[in-house]
Structure 1
Amino acid sequence: MNASHANSAAPHAGHYYVPQPTLYPVFLSGGMFLLALGFILLMNKFAPGPWVMAGGSAVIIFVLFKWFGAVIAENQRGAYTDWEDKSFRQGMVWFIGSEVMFFAAFFGALFYCRNISVPALAHMDPAFTLYKDFTAAWPTAGPKGAPFTPMGAWGIPAINTALLLSSGVTLTFAHWGLMKGSRSQLNLGLILTVLLGVIFLGFQAYEYHHAYTEMGLTMGAGVYGATFFMLTGFHGFHVTLGAIMLAVVTGRCLAGHFDARRHFAFEAVAWYWHFVDVVWLLLFVVVYWL
């Protein structure tokens, strides 16, 4: 934090910073409502559904752009002190903890289906079961699911694993650059991290297209298809959010916003990205490999 920041922060150094009241939360809630309403209309084949979703998405993007912009401006004028920094870090820890629970629910569903419900169907009393020829082999589409080809581990999934692991290395390289004051190392590491994340998403989009058009692997391909797309799809959504956040942080670093002492936003995004990496490793082993 430079001298101008320290001087502007001095008047409230002993008090937790409280921003002025804002309507951003109200607008954000309205945008989320429109997004959910549009999705419901779309699922029920009402024509306005996509337009309502687009409107809700536009409101959300606008509010986030303005709200985060206001937070960045507050930080740049020195409104936040060590007290706020500690609070932000605690909040990020709790947020990532909630994300752990989110993915744990889907991994738990996969475990239940694969190790409990599918074997139970296969070993029911022949006198009562409707599926006498059903076996507990995995992957399965269920007793009456459409045939499909399961996704192998050693093609695009292995490449994507290498990409995400490499992105963790480049992000750590950027962090080291920040801590030792090397702006060129910081910026190069972040740019490479964003690039690797975008390439990952491109490969995943190709994998999905290949699965739907050539492998018969869709959301309707029984329990395997449902769990496959729920886990990998939500992970891809998190990679998308992480890449966007990294791009924003890269822009801020190029503008010289962080230094070795004050860089919570950088660290928060780095924690999030490393969490996404760990989730992918679990996905690769449990969903693709085993």
Structure 2
Amino acid sequence: MTVTDDSEDHGHHLPAVEDWPKGFGEASWWPFITAVGAAGFYIGAALYVLGQNETFGFVTPMVGPAVFVGSLFVFLAGLYGWVYHAFVKHFWSRDTTGGKALRWGMILFLGTEVATFGAGFTYYFFIRAGSQWSQALTHVPDGFLGALVLANTAILVVSSFTLHFAHVALRKGNRSRFLGLLVATLVLGVVFIAGQVYEYYEFIVHEGLSPTGGVFESAFFGLTGLHGLHVTLGAVLLAIVTVRAFKGQYSHERDVSVATVSMYWHFVDAVWIFLVVVLYAGAEVSF
């Protein structure tokens, strides 16, 4: 079935042609746009740090945030096209092929994510073992903030279970349970993000921490911020899956996007647990 037939039969279209560049079969330029937007996040963060230092007078403090916001729009546009091309098109064309390849694609993607977070943890452990650590400002949340971290951790862990059992319900044909648990997962994800934002507010406004305040802060905000970005992306993917679910686009035979999003969500859950152990609980542990 061609793209033209798809549009005529269902009133839907692909945001990218299937054969681009010409002669390379079914391809898409949306992953490249998404990658450009993702790279802009790191460039914006770097420019923000440079803008805080008067040595780099050619970079104003607002350049970094502007690049970050612009990159966010590019990233979301690329993500929309990519998701539509990779998943939604298969539904409208009634195409059930390619599921195994998409699952392996997600596994390979998560492998690159392990490398990304691994680089951040390598930086953290490097400064942790260095002589500068004794002068670094360490902070382990206690009281209300400590309870907030524990509550946020519990929320994210529970969301992994709700998503898992939502997928199980879909495969068993229990549509109402599938929808209910899927919505619960999305709500828990949004609550986690809100808790993370509030934690940042408390740290920056009341505790005096900042991303440029020292070696510990740079590692803390860098790693937790990177994780927060991934959870936000996961929430966007969950929202897309939820909308599609309410339109009746999933069944026990057609669950590729549910399976791949679940893999991604379980990954960010596991990373958060490791972050809590290393950054929060291990900040003041002596070697």
Match of 1:221 among 213, 218, 237: 213
C-alpha displacement of 1:246 = 0.6
Instruction: Tell me the TM-score normalized by structure 1.
Output: 0.74
Partner of 1:89: 103
Contact 2:90 2:96 in 1 (8 A): no
Indicate the residue corresponding to 2:114 in structure 1: 100
Alignment check: 8 A CA contact 1:174 1:186 kept = yes
How many residue pairs get matched?
250
**Structure 2 runs not aligned, ≥5 long:** 1-5, 10-16, 21-27, 52-58, 283-287
How many Å separate the matches in 1 of 2:228 and 2:65?
A: 22
CA contact (8 A) 1:191 1:250 kept: yes
**Kept in 2: contact 1:156–1:203 (CA 8 A):** yes
Q: TM-score normalised to the size of structure 2?
A: 0.75
Distance 1:34 1:106 in 2: 17
1:279-290 → structure 2 map (5 Å cutoff):
279-290=271-282
Instruction: Output one character per residue of 1:220-248: Cα deviation in whole Å (capped at 9) or x when no partner.
Output: 33221111111111111111000110111
In the alignment, structure 1 residue 159 sits paired with structure 2 residue 139: no
Query: RMSD of the TM alignment (CA)?
Result: 3.1
Change (3 A) 1:243 1:223: same
- For the pair shown, which has the larger CA radius of gyration, 1 or 2? 1
The separation in 1 between residues aligned to 2:198 and 2:247, in whole angstroms, is: 34
Write the distance in 1 (CA, Å) between the matches of 2:108 and 2:77.
26
SS at match of 1:170: helix
SS of the residue 1:155 aligns to: helix
Residue 109 in structure 1 maps to residue 123 in structure 2: yes
CA, structure 1 residues 25+199, in 2 after alignment: closer, same or farther (shift >3 Å)? closer
Flag the 1:93–1:212 CA change in 2: closer, same or farther, 3 A: same
Question: For the residues of structure 2 that align with 1:165 and 1:59, how far apart are their CA atoms?
Answer: 30
Which residue is equivalent to 1:274? 266
Whether 1:77 and 2:88 are equivalent positions in the alignment is: no
CA distance in 2, matches of 1:45, 1:95: 34
Give distance in 2, aligned partners of 1:161 and 1:205. 14
CA gap 1:195/1:79 in 2 versus in 1, 3 angstroms: same
Shift of 1:163: 0.3
- In the other structure, the counterpart of 1:11 is none
CA 1:208/1:53 → structure 2, altered by over 3 Å: closer, same or farther? closer
Aligned partner of 1:248 among 222, 233, 240: 240
**Percent identity, aligned pairs only?**
35
Distance verdict in 2 for CA 1:184–1:62, change over 3 Å: same
C-alpha displacement at 1:77, in angstroms? 3.2
Residue 261 of structure 1 and its aligned partner are, at CA, apart by 1.8
Which of 89-98 and 36-45 deviates more?
Answer: 36-45
1:148 touches 1:221 (CA, 8 Å); kept in 2? no
Shift of 1:102: 1.3
CA deviation map 1:85-135 (0-9, x unaligned): 221111111111111121122222222222x213xx6xxxxxxxxxxxxxx
